[in-house]
Amino acid sequence: MARQIDTVNPATEEVIGTYRLMSDQEVATAVDDCHAAFEAWRLVSLEDRAAKISAIGRALRDNREDFAALMTKEVGKLIGDSRDEIDLCAAICDYTAENGPAELADEERAIPGGTGIVTHAPTGVIYGIQPWNFPCYQAIRYSVANLMAGNGVLLKHAANCTGSGLYLRDLIEAAGLPKNLFTVLVIDHDQSAEVIASARVRGVTLTGSDTAGRIVAKQAARHLKKTVLELGSNDAYVILDDADLDVAVESCATGRIYNNGQTCVNAKRFVVTDANYDAFVERFTERMKSFEIGDPTDEATGLGPLARKDLRETLAGQVEDSIAKGARALCGGTVPEATGAFYTPTVLVDVKPGQPAYDDELFGPVASVIRARDDDDAMRTANDSHYGLGGGIFSKDTQRARDLASKHFDTGMVSINTYKLALPNMPFGGVKNSGYGREHGGFGMKEFVNVKSLYMA
């Protein structure tokens, strides 16, 4: 009997799809076919590549409702969040098509006795290993940039959103991209290691946990392959003494609950100075309580399920461990007695180092509130993490907040008096255990190119 993947609706627990894992020979053939498609694609002009990417953006918009419904079935996203995800992916295509030719164009520089030319040559097949929390976005984010650069793309998607990966492949090919240039591999972890080792593969990018990042980086390093890693985080949002609490409470609640709390750049730790602590905790807890659990396909639902039951159990265990070590739950902290992988919106206080709620990433609707003495202590606490992907600062003095963000916040992205997920024209990525490399904003197009010097006499 062939090995297979069953995808399960996390809201209803019903099996919605069954997919056969590829054989080793099928994987090898798929990699070879992707490389062959790359050999032709690398010679296509920047302008023609941009036209194909623009067409992918139009196809995403044309198929928005069907794709959004599939993502909600596979991973439990609120239907509105799924639609927003498709819109973001289409906007990424637009930005890449509009800016890619200029970003990747040859540059001329004066050199002694002639002209220097810097060119950005495609390198080959780029392998992406992607998670389930954004089934379209995670794949589009790296693939569109690399297609614009002239590379071929392989995708190993998370098992529970296999259908979304295949849907995207078919959509991209229907939009006019050459067949096999964007290839989906339905494979297991052992086969993935062989793909990384393949001489056809020139780079590897992964979005996932820091544990997975270490494994993949080690596998790639063994073969001297460049990697880009976007890993987990426990982003701190800092409420300073002069913060506008109306703005802070609403932005922090939105930032914690967005995508059912399963986003690498969710707001997760809330560091509040003594001046605002009591008021913030009271108002923030009431706002978190207001998110009603329900059917993610219902427009009125405030919070859907986690993507899988095992993820829900992991989250529940982290909360229980934190409480055992001194934290208190002001709301939530329980598993509902209902079908589906749901978890109640939770606010933890008395959060200290040594608790998962302080040290680790809690991937779900659980907020960790941490008291700080003053603004300086708040910034120290925000940086007291082995992660560094995103974060936020709330202050009425926006110039001071900007200075703190740019000079003192040890993280890749900072939102000031708001919560932002990702924008096509702004770089996305982190530091420390949150990984390395950048996507979006033109940076992702150059991560896997050969920056080549030509010396013209």
Tens digits of per-residue pLDDT, 204-257? 999 999 999 999 999 999 999 999 999 999 999 999 999 999 999 999 999 999
Is residue 1's pLDDT more than 90? no
- Shared fold status for 4-232+433-456 and 236-423: no
Proportion of the chain above pLDDT 70, given as a percent = 100
Q: Which CATH class is domain 236-423?
A: alpha beta
**Among candidates 361, 164, 339, 386, which has minimal Cα distance to 262?**
361
DSSP SS3 for 194:
helix
Known catalytic membership, residue 264: yes
Mean pLDDT of 312-334: 98
| CA atoms of 195 and 339, how far apart (whole Å) | 38
pLDDT digits 0-9 by tens, 267-276: 999 999 999 9
pLDDT digits 0-9 by tens, 355-373: 999 999 999 999 999 999 9
Per-domain boundaries in the chain: 4-232+433-456, 236-423
pLDDT band with cut points at 50, 70 and 90 for residue 415: very high
Two tokens at 250?
């609403």
- Kindly tell me the number of DSSP H helices and DSSP E strands found in the chain: 14, 18
CA dihedral 133, 138, 140, 143 (to 10 degrees): -150
Q: Find all residues with CB under 8 Å of 151, minimum gap 6, and list them.
A: 38, 41, 42, 122, 123, 124, 125, 126, 202, 203, 448, 449
| CA atoms of 450 and 149, how far apart (whole Å) | 10
pLDDT digits 0-9 by tens, 16-52: 999 999 999 999 999 999 999 999 999 999 999 999 9
Two tokens at 49?
């590549």
Phi and psi based region of residue 239 (left: phi greater than 0; alpha: psi -120 to 50; beta: remaining) = beta
Model pLDDT, residue 2: 57
Query: Which of 103, 252, 264, 447 is labelled catalytic?
Result: 264
Is residue 83's pLDDT more than 90? yes
Two tokens at 183?
């290839």
What percent of the chain is helix, strand and coil (3-state, nearest 5)?
A: 45, 20, 35
DSSP SS3 for 63:
coil
Two tokens at 359?
């040290």
Is residue 203's pLDDT more than 50? yes
Query: Which of 74, 85, 103, 230 is labelled catalytic?
Result: 230
DSSP 293: B
The partner residues of 229 in beta bridges, in order of sequence, read 206, 436
DSSP 202-221: EEEEEES-HHHHHHHHHHHH
CATH architecture of 4-232+433-456: 3-Layer(aba) Sandwich (3.40)
Mean pLDDT of 291-305: 97
Mean pLDDT of 340-356: 98
Model pLDDT, residue 152: 98
Do residues 445 and 145 make contact, with C-beta atoms less than 8 angstroms apart? yes
Is residue 351's pLDDT more than 60? yes
For tokens 């974060």, name the residue.
Answer: 391
Phi/psi of residue 194, each to 5°? -70, -35
**Among candidates 190, 196, 161, which has minimal Cα distance to 71?**
161
Q: What is the pTM of this model?
A: 0.96
pLDDT digits 0-9 by tens, 105-118: 999 999 999 999 99
DSSP 391-452: EEEE-S-HHHHHHHHHHT--SS--EESS-----TTS-B--SGGGEE--BSTTTGGGTTEEEE
